Structure 1
Amino acid sequence: MTRAVRGAGGAAPFGAERDPARVVAFTDAVIAIAVTLLVLEIRPPDTGHLLHGLVTLWPSYLAYGITFLLIGQVWANHHVMFDHIRRADRMVLFLNTVLLMDIAFLPFAAAVLADAFRHGQGERVAVVLHGLTFEMAALLFNLIWRYVARDRRLLVSTIDPAGVRAIGRRFRLALTWIASGTALGALFPPLGVVVIAAFIPYYWLPIRGESARRRPAGR
C-alpha cells in the first residue's frame, strides 16, 4: 500500500498530484466552446426591413460583447493562476471542474440578458442571473487560489509571498466588484450592466507579481 507523501507544510496531498498542463488544456477547450456558443445565440432578424431588424438586436450585441470579454478575462486569469501551480491534486481538479460547469452556463445567461432587454421585461432577473454566474466564477477562482496557496505545496517555488498576496487581492476584488454590479442590477438593471462592464478594462491590467521570478543560474 502506498502512502501519501506530506508536503512542505505538513498537509497530506488530496489524492494523486498531476501535471496541470492537461487541466489548462481542457479548460481552454471548454472556454473556446463557450465563446463560440455566444455568437450562435444571435439570430438573424425575421423582418422585412433588414437594417431595422439588425439595429433592434442591439441587446444581443451588448450581451455578446460583455460576456465574451468577461470570459476572455476568465481565460487570461486562469492562465495567470496556473502559471504558478506546479501540481494539481483532486481538489484542484474538482474545483476547476465546477468552474468549467459555470463557464459552460454563461452562453445561456447571456441569451437571457439579451432577450430581457430586447423585450423590455425581466431585466432585473436577467442582470442578476448574469452577474451571479460570473460571481460564481470569481468565487471558484478564490477557492482554487486559496487552496493551492495555503501551504504552497502545489505552487511553483519562483513566486514569492508578495506575488501570492497580489494575485489573491485581485481575485478577491472580483468578488466585491461583480457582487456590487449584481446588487445594483437588481434595483437598476442598466446601472448594474455598466458596473459589471466597467470591470472589463480594469481586470485586463497585469497583476503585480503575476510573472514568476527567474532563479539565478546554478541555484
Structure 2
Amino acid sequence: MTEPDHGSDGPGASTPFGAGRDPARVVAFSDGVIAIAITLLVLEIRPPHDTSHLLHGLAALWPSYLAYVVTFMLIGQVWANHHIMFDHIRGADRVVLFLNTVLLMDIAFLPFATSVLAEAFRDGHGQRTAVVLHGTAFWVMDLLFNVIWWYARRDRRLISTTIDSADVAAISRRFRLALAWLATGTLLGLLLPPLGVAVIAAFIPYYWLPIAGEIAKAQRRHARGNRT
C-alpha cells in the first residue's frame, strides 16, 4: 500500500489516487457529522402552541417522539458500526473518502426524513410515502456501508492484518442482513405504514447485539492481559 501523504512534498505536490490516509481523520470528521445530525432530530419536536391544554398537546406529539427515538437509536447504530468498520480499515484512499462523504450526506438528510415521517403520522396523510422515504434513506446508508466494506476488504488491500477471515465474513454478513431487513421494512411500509415502522424499529435491538465472536475475543484479550 502507498504510504500516507502527510503533505511534506510541498504545496505543488499531488496525492496519487490510491494513496492511503490515516482513517482516524475520517472517523473524527464522521463523528462530527453524525453528532450534528443526531442532535438536529430533537428540533423537529416543537412545543404545542395551545398551552391551555398542554397535556393533551404534548400527548398529541407522540409521532414526533416515536420518530425521534427510532431515528436516534438507528443513527446511534450507524455511529457504532462506523467505528467497528473503521477499526479494521488501516488506510483510506480517495475512493473510501468519496464513499464516506456520500454516506455522511445521507446521514445529514435523516433529520428531514424524520420530520416528514412524524408530520405524516400526525396529520394522517402521506404515511406510506413518509415511511418509504425514511426507510429508503437508511437502506441507502447501509448500501454505502456494504460498498465501503467490500472495497476495503477486497484483496485485503485496506483492512488490518489483525482481523482474520472469519471476522471479515461476520461483519460482511451483518451488513448484508441489514440491507434485506431495511428493504423489507420499507416495502411493508408501502402496504401498511405502522407495520413498516415496527419492522424497522425491530432492527434496533438486534443490531445492538455484538457481532459473532466479538465477546469471546474480548474475553480472550482480557484473559491474556491478566496473565501478563
Residues 167 and 209 in structure 1, CA contact (< 8 A), matched pair in contact too:
no
Answering whether residue 165 of structure 2 is matched by residue 168 of structure 1, we say no
Aligned-pair CA distance for 1:14: 4.1
Is the contact made by 2:2 and 2:18 (CA closer than 8 Å) also made in structure 1? no
| Secondary structure of residue in 2 paired with 1:150 | helix
Instruction: Report the CA distance between 1:5 and its aligned residue.
Output: 4.8
Counterparts of 2:179 and 2:39, CA distance in 1? 26
Cα distance 1:186–1:112, how it changes in 2: closer, same or farther (>3 A)?
same
Deviation for aligned residue 1:15: 2.5
In the superposition, relative to structure 1, how do residues 208 and 147 fare at CA in structure 2: closer, same or farther (>3 Å)?
same
* Deviation per residue, 1:85-116 (Å, 9 max, x gap): 01100000000000000000000000000000
Aligned-residue CA RMSD in angstroms?
1.8
CA distance in 2, matches of 1:40, 1:183: 28
| Change beyond 3 A, Cα 1:209–1:91 | farther
Aligned to 2:79: 75
**Paired letter, 1:32:** A
Contact 2:142/2:178 (<8 A) preserved: yes
Match of 1:36 in 2: 39
Contact 1:20 1:85 (C-alpha < 8 Å) held by counterparts: yes
Is residue 91 of structure 2 the alignment partner of residue 87 of structure 1?
A: yes
Q: TM-score, normalised by structure 2?
A: 0.87
| Letter in structure 2 aligned against 1:144 | I
Whether 1:204 and 2:208 are equivalent positions in the alignment is yes
Asked if the contact 2:26–2:97 (Cα under 8 Å) also holds between the matched residues in 1, the reply is yes
Deviations 1:131-186 (A, max 9, x none): 00000111000000000011111111110011100000000000000000000000
Amino acid at match of 1:201: P
Query: What is the CA-CA distance between 1:208 and the residue it aligns to?
Result: 1.9
Determine the C-alpha separation between the residues in 2 that align with 1:209 and 1:46: 51
Residue 181 of structure 1: aligned partner? 185
1:18 paired with 2:21, answer: yes
Structure 1 residues 98-177: aligned runs within 5 Å? 98-177=102-181
Distance 1:74 1:125 in 2: 23
Distance of 1:209 and 1:19 partners within structure 2: 27
Query: Please, which runs of 5 or more residues in structure 2 have no aligned partner?
Result: 4-15
Q: Do the aligned residues in 2 keep the contact of 1:15 with 1:89 (CA within 8 Å)?
A: yes
Q: TM-score, normalised by structure 1?
A: 0.90
Secondary structure, in 3 states, of the residue corresponding to 2:197?
Answer: helix
Structure having the larger proportion of residues in helix? 2
Conservation of the 8 A alpha-carbon contact between 1:73 and 1:204? yes
Give the aligned residue type for 1:40: L
Match in the other structure for 1:61: 65
CA contact (8 A) 2:142 2:179 kept: yes
**Could you tell me how far apart the structure 2 residues matched to 1:15 and 1:194 are?**
42
